[in-house]
Amino acid sequence: MEAKKKSIDDSSDWHWWFFVAVITVLVAGAASITIWRSFHELHNRVLHVRRPFNGVTLKYSDALGISTQFFDVQKSGRLENNLIKWRGDSGLEDGKDENVDLSKGLYDAGDLMKFGFPMAFTATVLAWSILEYGHHMDEVKELKHAQESLKWITDYLINAHPSDNVLYIQVGDPDIDHKCWERPETTAEKRPTIQVNTTHPGSDVAAETAAAMAAASLVFKNQDPHYSKLLLDHAQKLFNFANSYPGVYTKSIPSIQDYYNSSGFVDELLWAAAWLYHATQDRYYISYVTVLHGNMFANWGNPTWFSWDSKLAGTQVLLSRVNFFGVKKEISIVENMNLQMYRRTAEALMCMILLPPVTSQKTNGGLIWVNEWDTLQYSIATSFLAVIFSDYMFTSNTPYIYCNGKLFEPMNLREFAISQADYVLGNNPVNMSYLVGFGRNYPQYVHHRGASIPIDANTSCKDGFIWLNSTKPNPNVAIGAVVGGPFLNDTYIDSRNNSMQGEPTTYNNAFFVGLMSGLVSFSSVARSFT
């Protein structure tokens, strides 16, 4: 019995191992087929990645030409080649109380204030738009106009920085300004200036101004090398000031906290350093954003919205450019790994806008909706970043990003941006264009002093309120203004007293100019700004 049992066991072992061998071969074969299919699918994605229409889109060309005009509407100073018939010289005495010429620059929104923090941010975003898409702007004859608008701001910023550790960051008293309703050309109220310095630091506003000047120095590098060098010199000194004397400007000067109250300054320091790296190729700035301050300041892995107060999302996309296209000088392994963290966080933002829960945080009409105040800022700013990131992918032949088990092509990002842009231009439940002057139906009661008062009206501070409360549409068109936008239910109340929805801002327009410039045509972006 023992011998027979043994032979039976031997036979079972042989059959068992044969079975295992067959299964192993089958599994290996199936795995090979799966791997081959996955490789073949990826290969097809690379070869057959969808690409945009290669030509000018007339709708976006028209919208770009209209939106750039709002910078002319907002100009202060002695106007040159004035294209806005109802605007004239204003603010000519600005800065005289401190013996500096602050007559240029832009009024912030519908009021007559010059706030340096959002004005500098407007310049940074406009410069970035030109650097990425100046060739598109040139194709539709808007490049020179955009450059002139940028220089109008940077001329002001240069004068606002009279010495290394002094920066003028505000002209006008908002409390006085908001008690008046009058045209900028006729205002007679006092317009005091406010500065940050070593005893009242403002790292956020100083670093944002440094970012603006660094970015603008790249815009003007070839056409005006002397001006470009001047801007870069100011940018580096302002960055050193911001970094050496840390402080939030609205905490240093509590009296201005009610307007553009800053939430912090570390994002502006990273933002400025990123721009200074692009402008100088100095490895110090790469080190600054990676090994020196990346872990503490960058909030890797946690995507945020891009706005006048929060620059991290913009910084992550801007530094993704370095990771996509490489650096000109050798950097360390740790620096390179940290640059990848910026790119991964930028990708997380792209995934966030393509997947739930953010995709469920839209209006029924499809608009990304974050805040009831200035709603469009977030959707337009995010769309601007999405177009840029998608073009980095196109240019670097990156076929997809991986989002929670799904693959998305660069065209998916571009299509998201198109959906938001088209909503702004009238493809929404109320069929209203939120770009003033575009289409047949756009806001007629924009919350804007100059637009609301007839050019021949003889009104002063207090009696000008008759025009705020008038039931008649604005006599002057604030051409190119992007207003605040709709409520969550896609409705819009067209009233001058509705500043929440109806007040335009220069930074909204900078975002929109960038978005239109990215969508108006399609081509590879430059691999380097220098």
Active site residues: 447
Contact 187, 156 (CB under 8 A): no
DSSP 33-69: HHHHHHHHHHHHHHHT-----SS--HHHHHHHHHHTH
Which amino acid, one-letter code, is at 397? N
Which amino acid, one-letter code, is at 53? F
User: What's the DSSP call for residue 520?
Assistant: S
CA–CA separation, 206 and 78 (whole Å): 26
CA–CA separation, 233 and 223 (whole Å): 17
Give which of 200, 211, 387, 415 is closest to 312, Cα–Cα. 211
3-class SS of residue 406: strand
CA–CA separation, 438 and 480 (whole Å): 8
Q: Which run of H or of E encompasses 115?
A: strand 114-115
Neighbouring C-beta atoms of residue 364, cutoff 10 Å: 10
Tell me the H-state helices in 48-167: 58-67, 69-73, 116-139, 143-159
CA 375 to chain centre: 14
3-state secondary structure 505-518: CHHHHHHHHHHHHH
CA 242 to chain centre: 21
Contact 444, 473 (CB under 8 A): yes
Indicate the pairing of strand 406-408 with strand 114-115: unpaired
Strands of 167-171's sheet, edge to edge?
A: 114-115, 167-171, 193-196
